[in-house]
Amino acid sequence: MISEQFQTVGRDLFARGLVSSNSGNLSIRLGEQIIITRRGSMLNCLNENDLIETGISKNSRTTPLASTDLLIHRAIYRETQALAVVHAHPPHAVALSITEKEIVPSVEDFSLLGTVPVVGWSEELKKECLDDIVAKALQQHRIIMVHNHGSFAIGQLLEEAYNLTTALEHSSQVHCLMKSLQVGPIQD
């Protein structure tokens, strides 16, 4: 059952172009344990061996196999009420994160996202590490962007975090199209 959730979300992220062959990662919290995708796994074809169980606060023998973003996922679970995390690389949102300090959804249907902060700029990284910056931002937002990198979305289920990720990318795509047409938001 758990592996099916990971497989469905991983396959959908890849099919929508929100991750490349082996980028991005997924995790869920089970008490004081975390199940996270394996380092370098291909989200579009996950199997049981690609799911690594380790502690939120302590390592296990499988910890070295976990995603390179394990520290960020751990910080998110320590600092928020999230039970699931989706980390993706949505291309239009990444493009906007290069020049913007926040992404404001330009599509009315996605206004429930609220403003999406872009964190991890060099001035922030001089003061704190990325895992702390991401976790703190997710205390107030359900999805954030890391400057020139990717998104982290939280939810009670992987599907919920996935839905936020797709909504951000769709809104960012519209935003980029509007910028390319050099038009502002249409007023009612």
- The yes or no reply on domain 2-181 and CATH 3.40.50.300 is no
Rounded average pLDDT over 10-33: 96
pLDDT at 175: 86
| Structure-model confidence comparison of residues 117 and 125, the more confident one | 117
The 10s digit of each residue's pLDDT in 131-148 is 999 999 999 999 999 999
Domain spans of the chain, in order of start: 2-181
The 10s digit of each residue's pLDDT in 34-83 is 999 999 999 999 999 999 999 999 999 999 999 999 999 999 999 999 99
| pLDDT tier at 104, thresholds 50, 70, 90 | confident
CB 74 within 8 A of CB 52: no
CB 152 within 8 A of CB 69: no
pLDDT at 128: 82
What number of other Cβ atoms are within 10 A of residue 183's Cβ?
Answer: 9
